[in-house]
Amino acid sequence: MRSACKYALAVLLGFSCFMGTANAQFKNGSQPTELNIPRLSQRGTVSQRLGLTDITITYHRPAVGGREIWGKVVPYGKVWRAGANENTTITFADDVSVEGKPLAAGTYGLHTIPDKDQWTIIFSKNSTSWGSFSYDE
């Protein structure tokens, strides 16, 4: 029994010494190293020249993980902030026309109202909100 306790103590002390050195990693001799683990819902940016203007969409691709999204996690008929983690944005370098309606150059929050057969796309002047909670038509 005594030798088992000594062995357990030695393992515990060795492990704690190992853990101490793991926490003492430094970058450039003075800055602690941060472990930058990728988010589950990865950030993406897509830019395309369409006609005479540049369009950029910045989003976080939602990780589905086997869940039923449309009509369940994202209910039909309710405003939904497209994407995950942060507000999805769309930027137009120039004034554009969407379905015959003018839209000024700039960055917009991209929201949707999904339905089974069609979706409503919303370009919100508030491009920094986290979700659609504060959306006001």
Taking the C-alpha atoms of residue 133 and residue 79, their distance in angstroms, rounded to an integer, is 9
Q: What is the residue range of 25's domain?
A: 2-32
Same domain, 63 and 91: yes
58, part of any domain: yes
Would you state the pLDDT for residue 133? 58
Would you state the pLDDT for residue 18? 41
Same domain, 48 and 26: no
Same domain, 49 and 24: no
Same domain, 52 and 99: yes
Same domain, 22 and 80: no
Same domain, 54 and 100: yes
Would you state the pLDDT for residue 135? 64
Same domain, 76 and 23: no
132, part of any domain: no
Q: How confident is the model at residue 2 (pLDDT cuts 50, 70, 90)?
A: very low
Instruction: Decide: helix, strand or coil at residue 83.
Output: coil
Taking the C-alpha atoms of residue 134 and residue 48, their distance in angstroms, rounded to an integer, is 29
Distances (CA, A) of 34 to 15, 24, 31, 38, 71: 22, 11, 9, 12, 39
26, part of any domain: yes
Which has the higher per-residue pLDDT, 46 or 135? 46
Same domain, 52 and 88: yes
What is the tens place of the pLDDT at every residue in 95-108? 999 999 999 999 99
134, part of any domain: no
Same domain, 11 and 78: no
Tokens of 47: 């830019």
Instruction: Give 116: exposed, middle or buried? Use CB within 10 Å, 0-12, 13-18, 19+.
Output: exposed
- Indicate yes or no: pTM above 0.85: no
Taking the C-alpha atoms of residue 114 and residue 82, their distance in angstroms, rounded to an integer, is 10
Distances (CA, A) of 129 to 5, 14, 83, 111: 57, 48, 13, 11
Q: How many domains does the chain have?
A: 2
